[in-house]
Amino acid sequence: MSGRALSDTTAARIVSDTLDAVIYADRTGTIRLWNAGAESIFGHSPEDALGESLDLIIPEKHRRAHWTGWERVMDSGETRYGADPLSVPGIRADGTRVSLEFSITMLKDDEGRIEGIAAVMRDVSKRWEETRDLRKRVRELEAQLSGS
Ligand code: HEM
C-alpha cells in the first residue's frame, strides 16, 4: 500500500461535516469544537454552543457524577472509559432527551497533561426505543406463557 497522509484541511472538513457529533472540551469543560453532527443532534448552533460548559447537553441529574469523574481524570491523566462505547442520555436545545453512544479521546501535551477531551457521539434513540419495546413484549409473552 502506498498513500499520502491527508492534509489537515481535509481532516478538519471530515470532522466538521460528519453526521456523528464531534465535540471537544478544554480542561475546564468548556466546549471548543462543535461540528455539524452536534448541531443536528442537539439543536444548538456553533455560535450557541462554543464557549458554553458541557452542562449544555448533560441532563441535570448526571452533572455531579460527570464532573466528579472529569476532575479525577484531569488530576490523574487516566480514564476508566475504555474501548467500549458509553451509553448516556443527553439533552437537546428544546429540552427533549436523546439516547447517545459515545467514545472519548484525551488530548495530552508533551508533558502528559490533559489539554482537553474529545467525544464522538451518535444518536441511538431509535434503537434504544426498539430495544425497550422488544423487552416489554418479551415480558408480556413470558407472563402469558407462565399464566397458561
Ligand atoms: C451528554 C451527556 C453526558 C452524560 C449524561 C454524562 C455522564 C457522566 C457520568 C454519570 C459520569 C460518571 C461515570 C462514573 O463515575 O462511573 C461521567 C464521567 C465522565 N464524563 Fe461524562 N457525561 C456526558 C457527556 C460527556 C462528554 C461530552 C464528555 C467529553 C467531552 C464526557 C467526559 C467524561 C469523563 C472524562 C468522565 C470521567 C471518566 C472516568 O472516570 O474515567 N462526558 N459522565
- Domains assigned to the chain: 8-147 (3.30.450.20)
Q: Tell me the average pLDDT of the chain.
A: 94
Name the residue of 66, 98, 102 whose CB sits within 8 Å of the most ligand 1 atoms, as the mutation to test its pocket. Answer: 66
Give the integer Cα–Cα distance in Å for 43 and 95.
Answer: 10
Mean pLDDT of 68-76: 95
The pTM (predicted TM-score) of the whole model is 0.90
Q: What are 24-55's pLDDT values in tens digits?
A: 999 999 999 999 999 999 999 999 999 999 99
Closest ligand 1 atom to 59 CA: 5
Percentage of the chain exceeding pLDDT 70: 98
Q: What are 77-112's pLDDT values in tens digits?
A: 999 888 788 999 999 999 999 999 999 999 999 999
